[in-house]
Structure 1
């Protein structure tokens, strides 16, 4: 009797850990190379243990053979990866908007290592990514990421066939909305760049002797950074609102 109870508890925690572990590897802020993999695995195991009491009733019975268990774990990992990718897509507008702003300001040649995306990015992109991740954790919006994975057990019942068609359509809609949001976040800088470059072009035609590039570049950087600083609060507010709404779309209404 005790052996059966222990086996069922280990099975439930293992199945929950498969979904949470796969999703947590892609959580914004936790997917950084500066966060040790062991820490992420330990956090996923602790989370699986804490929520196992409320989710264990939704899990299917233990499969009779090892192959069926592996297939079930693979399905859970697939669902977890889907939610991790969705969260990466939801934070993508900051990365794309940072690239647009960098081109608009004139700092496209200033590259640095971005710990959020774990790659070389423009300086402004890395700064915006760090601010966005800090805003997510400071406003406790990261709770929504965990809650979305917990509620996914009502949307994607373990043991049932995975609706790959619905997953692809949902991911496509999320990505298209994210691209639209990125254009909105970068809109002030894009308008400034269009206006400023048009003025430089007219100045170059009126005064051909002037070195427009050397005169205009410092002014472009100064004006672009000024507009970015003035719009930083609305940019982060708009991003956080869309990030939260994107996660709420995958949560069960209460």
Structure 2
């Protein structure tokens, strides 16, 4: 519980610091919150606004000898690991959109068009950037940011500070979910990617039947045009696939705070 009075001011500040660790770590690893263009001050304010009410709902006392002890370091490490696991679970679901964009962009021949991803700061294809922005819109439209905050608040009941450690089963769930999201990204890109492969096969057949034709001047525009048309046709299916992947990431985060440690 929160200490009161002038005497407990230092202890209260330490409680505030501990309360910010788990939400801060989750927001650092989660999509949207963890974007590089989000100021660090905004993350700190949101972490404090989420952490103080959350830690107030469970019995909590600082280590008797302070934070700079073995018990204190264990407490901080558990908070960091739990927060990162919750945010990373949602990030894995969000990453399916980026992977689908990379696959489709390379199939369209746009792999050379690189842009800086505002989420991670790394370079990605233009189409991967487009699907990443689409995933951000869908994440916010389905109230994924509010669902993540709710998961963080609920985690304090099942994993109170000082006892917040991921079990072997929970870590295995995260690893297996990463493989599932790899398959989900491929499934999202499959309709457009497979059709583009057929277009490239047709262009190869034309190049064999008409060797005098300049394949590079015809094949690249035809592939890009076919890709744009296919993206417009498959947009509902792509949006549904991205939404499903994000929802599965949120479901995994909820299961992490309710599952028993292994």
**TM-score, length-normalised on structure 1?**
0.89
CA deviation after TM superposition for structure 1 residue 50, in Å: 3.4
Q: Does 1:75 align with 2:40?
A: no
**CA deviation string 1:40-67 (max 9, x = no partner):** 111111111233333x33x4x3321121
CA deviation after TM superposition for structure 1 residue 21, in Å: 1.0
Q: How does 1:41-120 map to 2 (within 5 A)?
A: 41-54=44-57, 56-57=58-59, 59=60, 61-66=61-66, 67=69, 68-120=71-123
Cα distance in 2 between the residues matched to 1:110 and 1:94: 18
Q: Taking structure 1 as reference, are residues 98 and 214 closer, same or farther at Cα in structure 2, changes over 3 Å only?
A: same
Q: Taking structure 1 as reference, are residues 212 and 2 closer, same or farther at Cα in structure 2, changes over 3 Å only?
A: closer
8 Å contact kept, 2:188–2:238: yes
Q: Does 1:178 align with 2:177?
A: no
Cα distance in 1 between the residues matched to 2:127 and 2:166: 39
**TM-score, length-normalised on structure 2?**
0.86
Q: Which runs of 5+ in 1 are unaligned?
A: none
Q: Does 1:198 align with 2:201?
A: yes
Q: How does 1:105-144 map to 2 (within 5 A)?
A: 105-144=108-147
**CA deviation string 1:122-150 (max 9, x = no partner):** 11111111121122112312211112222
Cα distance in 1 between the residues matched to 2:125 and 2:252: 31
Q: 1:27 aligns with which of 27, 30, 33?
A: 30
8 Å contact kept, 2:35–2:118: yes
Between 1:91-100 and 1:114-123, the stretch displaced more is 114-123
Cα distance in 1 between the residues matched to 2:55 and 2:155: 14
- Coordinate RMSD, CA, aligned: 2.2
Cα distance in 2 between the residues matched to 1:141 and 1:98: 21
Q: Taking structure 1 as reference, are residues 102 and 12 closer, same or farther at Cα in structure 2, changes over 3 Å only?
A: same
Q: Does 1:236 align with 2:210?
A: no
Q: How does 1:146-225 map to 2 (within 5 A)?
A: 146-160=149-163, 162-225=165-228
Counterpart secondary structure, 2:115: strand
Count of equivalent residues = 250
8 Å contact kept, 1:101–1:186: yes
